[in-house]
Amino acid sequence: MIDKYNLFSKEFYPDPNDLKSVDVMLDFLPDSLKLFLDELLVGKSKGLKMATIGQCLVQVARPRALVAPLQLGLAVQLHHKFGSKFLVNTLQDHGLCLLYAEVLNFESWAVAQTPITADIDTDSDSPVQVMDLRW
């Protein structure tokens, strides 16, 4: 669940599992914006359209203050699939995703959040060295 108290902090990154729920994505939006978009939009996947357009509007209105989950997810997905800084930054210019630099910040944060696990054979007599390369 998205913590509304952390919405305006660049230190907060959403849980990737939250990106799978339209209801959680709609929780990101102010109530007044949800009401407006509910009257404006029609058709299938109305909730997803509301979340997408609403988060684009919120991100464009406050670009330095917060990280909209769907725009972050799209930027990370594009970077992973195409590895193009140009593509990510061009779509950011149109308000559709975050800057490439924010993708790199998120990836660094995600690596730091991942617990280190090692598949070590404890029955072996050979020495084992584990290195943590995070900083």
Q: Once rounded to an integer, what is the mean pLDDT over residues 1-25?
A: 68
Q: Residue 50: is its pLDDT beyond 90?
A: yes
Which residue in this structure is represented by tokens 């959040």? Answer: 113
Taking the domains of the chain in order of start, what are their residue ranges?
4-108
Q: Is 70 exceeded by the pLDDT of residue 83?
A: yes
- DSSP-derived secondary structure for the chain: ---GGGTT-TT----GGGGG-HHHHHHTS-HHHHHHHHHH--STTHHHHHHHHHHHHHHHHSTTT---HHHHHHHHHHHHHH--HHHHHHHHHTTSS--HHHHHHHHHHHHHHSPP-----TT--S---------
Residue with tokens 């590895």: 83
Instruction: Give the pLDDT mean for 99-122.
Output: 79
Query: What pLDDT is recorded for position 125?
Result: 66
The rounded distance, in Å, linking the Cα atoms of 86 and 57 is 22
> Residues 21-25: what's their mean pLDDT?
89
What is the SS3 assignment for 124?
coil
pTM of the model: 0.73
pLDDT at 132: 58
When the pLDDT of each residue in the chain is averaged and rounded to a whole number, the result is 82
What is the C-alpha to C-alpha distance for residues 120 and 76, in angstroms, rounded to an integer?
32
The pLDDT value recorded for residue 62 is: 85
